[in-house]
Amino acid sequence: MKNTLRQVFHSGKFVAGFSIFVFILLMMIIYPLINPGNPLERIGVGTFAKPGTYVSLYDSVSSDRETLRLADADENRIKSMMSMEDRVSMVAWFTAMDISVEGVDMNDTDALLTMWRENYDEKARPAGMTKAQRNFYVRLNNSITSANTAEVLSVTETNSATGEVVDKGKIDKTDYVNVGDVANVKTLPLGTDNFGRDVLKELVSACGTSIWIGFIAGIVATLIGLLLGLLAGYLGGIVDDIIMFVTNIFTVIPSFVLLILITYSLGQDQRGATTVAVVIGLTSWVWTTRSVRSQVISLRNRDHVNLSKLSGHSLMRIVMTDILPYIASYVVMAFILQVSSGILAEAQLSLLGLGPKTTEVPTLGLMMNWAMLYSAHLNGSWWAYFPVILTIAGISFSMNLMNTGLDQVFNPTLRD
Amino acid sequence: MRRFLSAHDRKLFLTLTGKDLVHMKGYRKYFTKKVVWFLITFVAALILNFILPRLMPADPVAAITGKLVGSTTDATASARIYERYQEEFGTNKPMWEQFFTYIGNLFKGDLGTSFSQYPRKVNDIIASAIWWTIGLQLPAIIVGWLLGNILGALAAYIRKGFDKVLMPLSLFLSSIPAFGMAVILLVLFAVNFKIAPVSGAYGFDMIPNFSWSFVWSVITHYQLPFWSIVLVSIGGQAIGMRSMSIYELNADYVKYARFLGIKDKKIVGYVFRNAMLPQVTGLALSIGTMIGGALVAEIIFSYPGLGSVMYSAVTAADYPLISATTLIITLMVLIVTFILDIVYALIDPRVKAAQFD
């Protein structure tokens, strides 16, 4: 046993897969300690807030200020204020003035601004432009150049009792606050989803649930498969025929279809995460059965097994001591694959709208389903779906690596 | 799951699933046996499709009535609707009678009436969807299988650098779920680069006809769903083929052939032919899983195939439609498996020679 383990941990592939998996597990344990709370809590009112650090505007007004004179501050401000419409209008002005706009990239703010400053002339009268349009450009030009003039924002407070507006102070362009001084700062490394939930917190929790689903499905499938495989392989005869008849039927009928039928019939209210996991397990034992059976058949006429039979050992004992240890590695490998395909099955079911009920726990599949329902992939909210895909792929990848590693340890012909 | 089983395992599978090949007196007997198996599994699928939903505590007719009646409090009205539906779907009759009606209707080619698209027949909905699914998935799976096998064989033959890169890459590719690949391709090529359409099977402003613009539109819409399925299936096939080929390359007959001084090129030919055989069964055995994944990928692209039909049926709780789609998908998988079994017998001389084992 010790030797086997040492051998297994010498396999580079297994260790790589194992490390990825342990890393994911550690994340699941450690992250909730750093950032506790309900993963389904809706913190944002809008949908799909971008990833980043959010600073309370309200609190920053009353925080201690420092005056910093930064050379590029005005330039940055102008750039961040230039909307897409402004850019389009600027290009339209160039075109109206017969200035070549070839090679102008609307997203290249610097180039666009330089070009504008070089070419814009307030007195110019582009052909076919009304006075109102010309005035628009004057305003646009002012807003672009006015950053140099001192404009001061004033903060007022509305008294809720009297409705009186009280002046609370001014904000200069050179006023800065230290983020550390602001009372409320929230970092959302992966933004929020369509419900305004913290995606990272949700993802960590979903990852845990999905691995749980995978494990339950894997255990159920492996137990059934092991039992049926042992029975069929060791007993042979009519038992084997019956078991193989059923197994052959379920090999051809896609488990995906059975899964859909059963989960749909269960109804939304009955579908907890564990129930879905058990159903997945119940529909995916076929491969383990076949694999175990074929192994047992190749074992059952070996000398040591015959010796045990001759010694009059009970069936239970023969199976436990003479057969199981020999197929243990196969069972472990099959189990690993069951876990990863269980996670995938849950994700696919959830995408069809047949996943666990949505009110209790997030799962990777449900997160994916929500992201798709709210078109995160079409409106550029990559943080709502890409980490989910990456997590699913990461978990399966780690498990497949472990499996390949084990395969090479136990099947010397495959070694590199 | 099938695709990651070891080469040794597959050999064993072959010998054992090939139990029905043993003592065969030839192809005809093999064929008959496969036809019988096809029929048995089909009947089993029919029974499961019928009985599973009815075993469950939830009453689908009650659920539909509830959905339809909604907030109406008129008890007699909802009772009447309930009875009307019971009558239409025959749920008030004993189980065995329902089963025979169900089978009878099936043989008449009547899959019932859709709830969500009432009064549209389920037949019509399926008929308009099934060709999109077959047209998308069959070529995609075949191309993925071929490419995967070529890559796997190359990896096994070249080893060294190619293998070192290809193996982890294949493993990672095959770990990405089909829907994930679909989303990634969609975002990259349709949303960001805008070189492919976002959804559907043809331009939304078009009516299917045989004009050039329509065919072109179908082709452009076809690319992303097609490649997402191909990319996902390449990985698993490459891994299977690689380990199968390595297994064969280490076999005694290869060593013997080398001793005899047979040219390497010729040996490799034999090796890959032998390694291909289990890959054909491999495809037969994993086709169900592959189709399942690909159906979900259809939803991402709103491709008007069976996957999308099933999705809308599930969201609308359209019970007859779900049951019909699952049945059709099962039937498709059964037919493909059957064909692959027959092809396998044609290319594996051992079946004809009946000297297996």
Distance from CA of A390 to the nearest CA of B (A): 8
Q: Which of B177, B295, B314 sits opposite A392 (nearest CB)?
A: B177
Query: Which one, of A145, A225, A210, lies nearest residue A369 by Cα?
Result: A210
The 8-class DSSP code of residue A355 comes to S
pLDDT of residue A302: 85
Distance from CA of A318 to the nearest CA of B (A): 22
The 8-class DSSP code of residue B71 comes to T
- A154 shares its domain with A230: no
Q: Report yes or no: B357 at the A interface, CB cutoff 8 Å.
A: no
- Chain B environment of A214 (Cβ under 8 Å): none
In a domain, A255, yes or no: yes
Q: Last residue of some domain: A178, A209, A236?
A: A178
Per-residue pLDDT of chain A (416 residues; tens, 9 = 90+): 788 888 888 888 889 999 999 999 998 899 989 888 888 888 888 888 889 899 888 888 888 888 888 878 777 777 777 777 788 888 888 887 777 777 777 777 777 777 887 778 777 777 777 888 888 888 888 777 765 556 778 888 888 788 788 887 888 888 888 888 888 888 888 989 888 889 999 999 999 999 999 999 999 999 999 999 999 988 888 999 899 889 888 888 888 888 888 888 887 777 888 999 999 999 989 888 988 898 888 888 888 888 888 888 888 888 888 888 888 888 898 899 899 989 999 999 998 888 888 777 889 999 999 998 888 888 888 999 999 999 999 999 999 889 888 888 887 666 65
Handedness of CA B61, B65, B67, B73 (dihedral sign): negative
Encode pLDDT of B100-154 as tens digits: 888 888 888 787 777 777 678 888 888 888 888 888 888 998 899 999 888 888 8
pLDDT of residue A227: 93
Q: Do B172 and A293 touch (CB under 8 A)?
A: no
- A77 shares its domain with A214: no
Q: Do A252 and B172 touch (CB under 8 A)?
A: no
- Chain B environment of A404 (Cβ under 8 Å): 4, 167, 171, 239
- Minimum CA–CA partner of B309 in chain A: A352
In a domain, A56, yes or no: no
Which B residues 73-112 touch A at CB under 8 Å?
none
Encode pLDDT of A343-377 as tens digits: 999 999 998 888 888 777 889 999 999 998 888 88
Distance from CA of A244 to the nearest CA of B (A): 9
- A130 shares its domain with A168: yes
Whether residue B357 is predicted with pLDDT greater than 90 in this model: the reply is no
Encode pLDDT of A115-172 as tens digits: 887 778 777 777 777 888 888 888 888 777 765 556 778 888 888 788 788 887 888 8
Q: Report yes or no: B188 at the A interface, CB cutoff 8 Å.
A: no
- Minimum CA–CA partner of A251 in chain B: B285
- Chain B environment of A330 (Cβ under 8 Å): 9
Predicted structure pTM score:
0.83
Q: Last residue of some domain: A178, A203, A220?
A: A178
In a domain, A63, yes or no: no
Whether residue B23 is predicted with pLDDT greater than 90 in this model: the reply is no
- A28 shares its domain with A97: no
- A248 shares its domain with A156: no
- A163 shares its domain with A202: no
ipTM exceeding 0.95, yes/no: no
Select the residue from B3, B8, B247 to test the A interface by mutation, using most A Cβ atoms within 10 A. B8
Cα within 13 Å of Cα(B20), Cβ side? 18
In a domain, A49, yes or no: no
Number of domains observed in the structure of chain A: 2
- Chain B environment of A300 (Cβ under 8 Å): none
- Minimum CA–CA partner of B249 in chain A: A413
A382-399 per-residue burial string, b: 16 or more CB within 10 A, e: under 16? bbbbbbbbebbbbbbbbb
- Chain A environment of B231 (Cβ under 8 Å): none
Select the residue from A20, A260, A332, A409 to test the B interface by mutation, using most B Cβ atoms within 10 A. A260
Distance from CA of B32 to the nearest CA of A (A): 17
Whether residue B351 is predicted with pLDDT greater than 60 in this model: the reply is no
- Minimum CA–CA partner of B311 in chain A: A352
In a domain, A54, yes or no: no
- A102 shares its domain with A199: no
Residue type at B340 in one-letter notation: L
Q: Do A353 and B311 touch (CB under 8 A)?
A: yes
- Chain B environment of A403 (Cβ under 8 Å): 4
Alpha helices in chain B (DSSP H): 7-17, 27-55, 60-69, 75-89, 95-107, 122-158, 160-175, 178-185, 212-249, 252-259, 264-300, 306-315, 319-347, 349-353
- Contact, B147 vs B354, CB < 8 A? no
- Contact, A346 vs A210, CB < 8 A? yes
In a domain, A187, yes or no: no
In a domain, A52, yes or no: no
The tokens for B244 are 């199968």
C-alpha of B70 from chain center: 37
- Contact, A309 vs A318, CB < 8 A? yes
- CATH number, domain of A223, equals 1.10.3720.10
Whether residue B4 is predicted with pLDDT greater than 50 in this model: the reply is no
- A13 shares its domain with A160: no
Distance from CA of A302 to the nearest CA of B (A): 16
- A157 shares its domain with A226: no
In a domain, A61, yes or no: no
**Domain range spanning residue A169?**
68-178
Q: Do A248 and B41 touch (CB under 8 A)?
A: yes
Q: Do B175 and A255 touch (CB under 8 A)?
A: no
- A156 shares its domain with A73: yes
- A405 shares its domain with A317: yes
Q: Last residue of some domain: A178, A213, A242?
A: A178
- A147 shares its domain with A287: no
Whether residue B21 is predicted with pLDDT greater than 80 in this model: the reply is no
The tokens for A290 are 């076949």
